[in-house]
Amino acid sequence: MKKILFANWKMNPMTENEAVKLARASDVKDAVLIPPFPFLKAVKNVLKNASLGAQDVFYEEEGAYTGEVSPQMLKKLEVKYVVVGHSERRRLGESDEMIAKKMKAGTDVGLKVILCVGEPLSVYKKGKKVTEEFIKKQFRFIKDKKNLIIAYEPIWAVGTGKNADPEDAARVARFIKSIVSVPVLYGGSTNSKNAEDFLKKKEIAGLLIGGASIDAKEFQKMIKIAKRF
Ligand code: PGA
């Protein structure tokens, strides 16, 4: 299976010009570029090979929902993937119930939904079994696995420079797949130095990359590595 690299740019870069430049430099077939909403269209316009993703979606179709973006709006921009339940959004108060509704709304219009799950450090420290149980709890609302991808992102590894042990990540990916049989990504401080350790695990379908994806050179190096698998 081909490994896919998902570039979650988060709230970067600052201008459309920079976004377009980064998109051009990252435009390869097995990449999904996930820019901030205001740059989706400009990025889409320059992509020839990579796919387009969005960082979030709302669950209602239209109406009085200040600040929200509907699944249809994303579809019309030719967005293929959408991230749901990222730990940076859960931290802002997004509940499992909201995430479940977003998953449904996204898949209902044919978007591929990347559901992020992962444990905080306190849970991780308590050991493997507790970690797995914690992740399982985040699955209780999954009803339909069509168009679903799961990203295992330990909260303590996102943006911290700390990684999960690739063997642990593979074990969690196996555990996830034993509950719901969908592709599983790993995310959390991946870069060109550790990408291979995760990508070589057969259970890991690709990476959800934050920081390293907004550094064009670093991302290109990771693409080169992913191509070997
Ligand atoms: P990071 O982010 O690679 O900067 O840790 C990963 C993510 O948030 O998806």
**pLDDT tens string 90-141:** 999 999 999 999 999 999 999 999 999 999 999 999 999 999 999 998 888 8
Look at residue 197 and tell me whether its pLDDT is greater than 90.
Answer: yes
Bridge partners, 185 (sequence order): 151, 206
Check pocket membership of 118 for ligand 1, CB cut-off 6 A. Answer: no
Check pocket membership of 158 for ligand 1, CB cut-off 6 A. Answer: yes
The answer to whether 205 and 1 have CB atoms below 8 angstroms apart is yes
* Domains of the chain: residue spans and CATH: 4-226 (3.20.20.70)
- Residue 75 falls in which region: left (phi positive, over 0), alpha (psi -120 to 50) or beta: alpha
pLDDT of amino acid 141: 83
Q: What SS3 class is residue 207?
A: strand
Check pocket membership of 190 for ligand 1, CB cut-off 6 A. Answer: yes
CB neighbourhood size of 21 (10 A):
14
1: pLDDT confidence band, cut at 50, 70 and 90? Answer: low
Look at residue 150 and tell me whether its pLDDT is greater than 90.
Answer: yes
What is the chain's mean pLDDT, rounded?
A: 96
- Residue 10 falls in which region: left (phi positive, over 0), alpha (psi -120 to 50) or beta: left
**CA torsion 136→137→138→143, rounded to 10°?**
80
Q: H/E/C letters for each residue in the chain?
A: CCCEEEEECCCCCCCHHHHHHHHHHCCCCCEEEECCHHHHHHHHHHCCCCEEEECCCCCCCCCCCCCCCCHHHHHHCCCCEEEECCHHHHCCCCCHHHHHHHHHHHHHCCCEEEEEECCCHHHHHCCHHHHHHHHHHCCCCCCCCCCEEEEECCHHHCCCCCCCCHHHHHHHHHHHHHHCCCCEEEECCCCCCCHHHHHCCCCCCEEEECHHHHCHHHHHHHHHHHHCC
Q: Which of 190, 192, 213, 222 to mutate to test the pocket of ligand 1 (most atoms within 8 A of CB)?
A: 190
Q: Which of 90, 189, 191, 215 to mutate to test the pocket of ligand 1 (most atoms within 8 A of CB)?
A: 189
